[in-house]
Structure formats: structure tokens, C-alpha cells
Chain A
Amino acid sequence: MIRSTKDFWSGLIYLFLGLSAIVIARDYGMGTALKMGAAYFPSVLGALLILIGSISIIRSCIVQGTPIGTLAFKGLAYVIGSVVLFGLTVRGAGLAIALPVLVVISALGSSRFRWGPTLVMAVGLTIFCVLVFIKGLGVPLPIIGLWFGGR
């Protein structure tokens, strides 16, 4: 019976990462303690992680823990989604288009979203970032990208 879901799930993550570290490292050449190969250190760490994961899972059955609580799926989806979209479009569409899109979509993740202030922020930030980062510091991003007839 699991009494601490936090310990249980984090234990599973440790186990998974530890095992993958060891399994993937099998291709790298172990070497010896004297002349360590590329696999030596990560394998030791992987073993350590498996140990920690096991302790965590065993503990999850013994010690009562606090519940994980609700996950902010909406916030997670909007924040991560908007950043990924920004990464996908900033080169092709240009900063002047990708940036306000990032601001508006990420702001939709808040339950207090209001169009007015968000749009003001989007416009202000776009002007600021184009001036400071592209014009001023020379970050190699197009203002308007190829997709919209820029260069």
C-alpha cells in the first residue's frame, strides 16, 4: 500500500533514470578504476540513483506523506506550449510576430487573463525587444521572417 505518493513517483523517476543511465552506458566502454572509460562515472551514478530510488519507494510504503495536490495542467500546457511555439516560429515568422504570440498564448494560461493589459504588454515588449536585442545587441533574429515576406 502506498502511503506517500510523492516518494513513490519520485522513486520511480530515479529508478527509471538510473536504469537508463546504466543501460545506455553499456555501449561506451567501462575501463577500470585506474583508467576510467566513458561509462565508469555514469554507471556509478546510475547505480546510486537506483539505490536512492529503491529507498524512496520502500519509504513510500512505510512513511505517511503529504499528497501531491492538484496539477496546474492548464498553466503547464499554456506556458510550455507557448515557449515551444516560440522556438518553432521565431526564425521563420520573425521576432515581431513570434514574440506577441508568445505573450498572448502564455498569458491565456492565467485565470485572470484580460485582453487589454496583455495586448499593451505584447506591443510594448515587442518594441523594446526589437530595439534592444536586434538593433542594439545584434541578436541574429529577423524582425519579420521569411514566412511573412521579410528577409
Chain B
Amino acid sequence: MELFSNLALGMSTAATPINLLYFLQPVSALIMLAGIYYGSQYGGSTTSILVNLPGEAASVVTTLDGYQMAKQGRAGPALTASAVGSFFAGTVATFVLALFAPPLAEAALKFGPADYFSLMVLGLVASVVLAQGSLLHAIGMVVIGLLFGLIGTDVTSGTQRYTFGIPELADGIGFVTVAMGMFGLGEIIRNLESESERSVVIAKITSLMPTKEDWKRMIAPILRGTVIGCAMGILPGSGSILGSFAAYSIEKKVSKNRHQFGKGAIEGVAAPEAANNAGAQTSFIPMLTLGIPSNPVMALMVGAMIIQGIQPGPSVIKEQPQLFWGIIASMWLGNLMLLVLNLPLVGMWVKMITIPYQILYPAILVFCGIGVFSLNNSTFDIHFMALFGALGYIFSKLGCEPAPMLLAFILGPLMEEYLRRAMLLSRGNPWVFVQRPISATLLGLAVLAMLSVLVPSFSKTREEAFKE
């Protein structure tokens, strides 16, 4: 159920037509996008707890204990745990970003093309490891994504590749078009397959206040979740999803109350929610320091930067300090707003999810349609979105998950560019990728990640984690 992130993505693209981005100051435009991003991250946890429907992938683990708590009449404390955990983690992650992004950007200036390439390989491997289902198909989807990303004019040679003489394809396919098609439309069609009665049992909220015992049990998981989330968020391609999964499984191992996990343990809500929010903030780091988008929203922000004439990369922090610090300040304010606004708005969220799906999905289609149109003011993109919708549905029926494809689609042209430069600098010597220490380390990590899937014990936890 990626319902809410679809809705948010649709709304945010529809609400930020290119002319609006021109009109707004760069800082405000980017801050608006950032706000929508963490807003949707947060909204996901509320529905996870109250109606057992995760709003987006990172909130999947929150349903395990959150909904159980709600069923026991403790929805209020669960929501508060999630809000407090998120707020604390968000605050820490904002400081981490403010403290570490400038030196990291400094270090990123030392990154050569080979290092960039290897970093992207690591990101793609991470997305493959995190994908549901067969590893082979995840890799296949990555390669398809890379190929689709190459459609359009090749920057180096000026050759039009895979455009079939269609002028609209000269600039390539917009990734929002692909994302809305494969996730938005594809998901809607899949939901129409089995229109079981969505028996939405909404848990009643009696009191928001956790007990003293709850507070005590929350502190350590929130701290651990924050650290895990911050660390995982930096990895391109995983962001908040890996963090929340890792935080939950670690809590399950170390907690004194591990027998309660899955039966409504407050630790199982606090830790992944903290991790997920921390990861959402630190996933700005690859974008701000290296110019590499690690998820669709970051890619949207990179696009917005380019429209404003800002070249994303290590020099952004130095050359556009007002942009960098503006984002930092907005993050913390955004976290505060979410804490203050979200709990009172719980009722509204729940109302939205109780709208029957057959009424809601036409509205999603409308927002996707207008949103995609407004990107280039072209109806051509609407048709492409429809095409990718059909593709996305077919792929998901064949057990091929679209998420790795989307990241690869974003990274495709960048990877080719850095591969070219790396090979040019090394005079065609492919060993450059293992000779440079940074690149070798990153590739080593990628190999480790890949191997970890093949190790039986890990792949078992992976399966369990995705069972939901």
C-alpha cells in the first residue's frame, strides 16, 4: 500500500509546476519539496498504527507492533511514541547533517569519477538487496532501469539514443512519469484485482499519554533507532527503509521485552519510527554532498536545483550556503510542525483512509495526470505514464519489483558519465575501480552486501521481514 506516498508524489508534482519553481526562490521551492517529503514519511506511521495499512515502505515494520497496540486500546501511546521518537531522531539527524555534511562535501571533492561510479554501484546493490522476492529479477530490473535511463540525447556524443525519431523523447523520459506510472497506476490496477472488502477497523484513541513504564521502555530504543537510521540513511538507495527494518530486528534481539514483539511492544514502534525519520533526513547527505539522488523525492529536488541554475555536487554547500542552511533550518522546523500538527490531525488522516478505494483511486489518477502534464506542459507525458502503468502492473505480476528499477533509472545517465570519465582518466584501464582506495572500499561493501543475501541466516530474516 503505497497509497499515501503516491498521493503525496502526485500532489507535490502537480503543485510544483515548472513555472512555480521559477517563481519561487530556490530555497523556498526546495524547502517545500523537502517538507512534503518528511510529511509523507510521517503520515505513513499514523495509518500503520491505526488501521494496519503502512503509508509507505518504511512504515511496514511499524504495523507489526503498532497495530497490535492499537487493538489493545493503546493507539494513543503508540502514536505518541512514534511522534516523540520521530521528533527526537529528526532533531539529532538534522544536527548530524549540519555537522557532517560540510566536511563530507569537502571530502567528496576528493572523489574521482571511479569513486562516484562505485558509490552508485553500492547504491544499486543496496536496492537489490532490499527488494522483495527474487534476487535475479531485482538485478534484471536494475539493468532495465539503467537502460531506460539512457533514452534520449547522449550528452557526450549528441547521439539520440532509443528515441525512435520521437522528438519528445530527445530529453529522455521524466523519472516522475516513470515513477507515477509504475508505482501509482500499476499499484491501482493491482488493487483492482482483488477488491476484497477493506475491513478498516479503526482503533479508538482514548488517551495519547504513554504511561511512566512506556516512557522508560521507549528511551533506549529511540536512541538506538536514531543511530541506526542516521547511518543507514546515508547509503544511497536505501534511505529510511533499511533503517527501520534494521532497527526493528536489532530491538527484537536486544530488548528485555523481546517476547512481547509482534504482540504490541512499544519498543517495536519507537525504534523503527525513530530510525525511519533519521534516515529520511540523512538521505539528504548524498544529494547535498555528492549530487547523487538516493530516492525519487531527492531526484525531484536535484531537478529543481538544476532549473534554478544550481549544479548539484560537492560545491553546493560552499557556494549556496543559504540553500544548505535553509534546508537544515526547515528540517528542524518541519519536525516541530509535524509533532505539533500531526497528533491533532490524526482524525483527518483516518477519515481519508476510510474513503472507499473505488472513490479514492480516480482522484489519484487525476492528480497524477495533471502532475505529469505540468512537468513539461505536454500531454505526451500522460501517455507515457499510462504505458509505464501497464508495464509496472505486468512486471509486478511476474514477481519483478519496480523499486530497484526506478533508482537505476535515475542513476543510469550519471553512471555512464562517470564510467566514461573514469576510463578516460585511467587510459582505459578497468582496474582503476579497485586501485583507488575509496572506490575499492565502496565496491567491497557492495560485494559484502550481495554476499549477505546469499548467507542463509540473513536471507531468512529478509524473507521474514518482507512477509508482511
Closest to B430 in A: A33
7 closest Cβ pairs, A-B complex: A75-B192, A87-B382, A34-B428, A110-B358, A72-B193, A38-B159, A103-B362
Is B147 a contact partner of A42 (Cβ separation < 8 A)? yes
Contacts of B424 in A (CB 8 A): 34-35
Is A91 a contact partner of B379 (Cβ separation < 8 A)? yes
Contacts of B159 in A (CB 8 A): 28-29, 38
Contacts of B419 in A (CB 8 A): 36, 41
Asked whether B143 is an interface residue with its Cβ less than 8 Å from the other chain, the reply is: yes
Interface residues in B185-226 by Cβ distance below 8 A to A read 185, 188-190, 192-193, 195
Looking at the assembled complex, report how far the CB atom of B444 sits from the nearest CB atom of chain A, in whole angstroms.
21
Roughly how many angstroms separate A65 CA and B365 CA in the complex, as a whole number?
A: 33
Contacts of A9 in B (CB 8 A): 398
Closest to B150 in A: A42
Contacts of B415 in A (CB 8 A): 41
Contacts of B379 in A (CB 8 A): 87-88, 90-91
Instruction: State the B residues within 8 Å of A (CB).
Output: 14-15, 17, 19-20, 134, 136-137, 139-140, 143-144, 146-147, 150, 154, 156-157, 159, 161-162, 185, 188-190, 192-193, 195, 356-359, 361-363, 365-366, 368-370, 373-374, 377, 379-380, 382-383, 385-386, 389-390, 393, 395, 397-400, 415-416, 419-420, 423-424, 427-428, 430
Q: With A10-B399, A35-B424 given, can you name 13 additional A-B contacts, CB distance below 8 Å?
A: A6-B398, A29-B157, A34-B424, A41-B416, A42-B147, A45-B146, A75-B188, A75-B192, A87-B369, A87-B379, A110-B195, A129-B370, A141-B370
Closest to A72 in B: B193
Interface residues in A4-54 by Cβ distance below 8 A to B read 6-7, 9-10, 13-14, 17-18, 21, 24-25, 28-29, 32-38, 41-42, 45-46, 48-49, 52-53
Roughly how many angstroms separate A74 CA and B393 CA in the complex, as a whole number?
A: 13
Closest to A17 in B: B144
Contacts of A68 in B (CB 8 A): 397-398
- Candidates A6, A13, A76, A133; contact of B189 at CB < 8 Å: A76
Contacts of A32 in B (CB 8 A): 428
Is B17 a contact partner of A138 (Cβ separation < 8 A)? yes
Is A21 a contact partner of B147 (Cβ separation < 8 A)? yes
Roughly how many angstroms separate A88 CA and B400 CA in the complex, as a whole number?
A: 30
**Chain B contact residues: over half helix, strand or loop, or mixed?**
helix
Instruction: State the A residues within 8 Å of B (CB).
Output: 6-7, 9-10, 13-14, 17-18, 21, 24-25, 28-29, 32-38, 41-42, 45-46, 48-49, 52-53, 55-56, 59, 65-66, 68-72, 74-76, 79-80, 82-84, 86-88, 90-91, 95, 99, 102-104, 106-107, 109-114, 117-118, 121-122, 125, 129, 132-133, 137-141
Roughly how many angstroms separate A111 CA and B154 CA in the complex, as a whole number?
A: 46
Is B430 a contact partner of A53 (Cβ separation < 8 A)? no
Looking at the assembled complex, report how far the CB atom of A23 sits from the nearest CB atom of chain B, in whole angstroms.
11
Roughly how many angstroms separate A14 CA and B389 CA in the complex, as a whole number?
A: 18
Closest to A71 in B: B397
* 12 A-B interface contacts by CB (under 8 A): A6-B397, A13-B398, A14-B144, A21-B162, A45-B146, A70-B193, A76-B393, A83-B368, A102-B366, A110-B357, A112-B195, A113-B358
Roughly how many angstroms separate A122 CA and B419 CA in the complex, as a whole number?
A: 49
Contacts of A87 in B (CB 8 A): 369, 379-380, 382-383, 386
Is B136 a contact partner of A55 (Cβ separation < 8 A)? yes
Is A28 a contact partner of B161 (Cβ separation < 8 A)? yes
Contacts of A76 in B (CB 8 A): 189, 390, 393
Given contacts A42-B150, A86-B369, contact A75 B363 (CB under 8 A): no
Given contacts A112-B195, A138-B17, contact A79 B370 (CB under 8 A): no
Looking at the assembled complex, report how far the CB atom of B220 sits from the nearest CB atom of chain A, in whole angstroms.
41
- Candidates B156, B395, B428; contact of A33 at CB < 8 Å: B428
Is A79 a contact partner of B374 (Cβ separation < 8 A)? no
Roughly how many angstroms separate A106 CA and B370 CA in the complex, as a whole number?
A: 15
Roughly how many angstroms separate A99 CA and B390 CA in the complex, as a whole number?
A: 21
Roughly how many angstroms separate A94 CA and B380 CA in the complex, as a whole number?
A: 16
Roughly how many angstroms separate A106 CA and B356 CA in the complex, as a whole number?
A: 14
Is B189 a contact partner of A72 (Cβ separation < 8 A)? yes
Roughly how many angstroms separate A122 CA and B366 CA in the complex, as a whole number?
A: 10
Contacts of A137 in B (CB 8 A): 15, 17, 19-20, 374
Looking at the assembled complex, report how far the CB atom of B65 sits from the nearest CB atom of chain A, in whole angstroms.
29
Contacts of A28 in B (CB 8 A): 154, 157, 159, 161
Roughly how many angstroms separate A18 CA and B399 CA in the complex, as a whole number?
A: 19
Is B143 a contact partner of A52 (Cβ separation < 8 A)? yes
Given contacts A52-B136, A55-B136, A107-B358, contact A139 B370 (CB under 8 A): yes
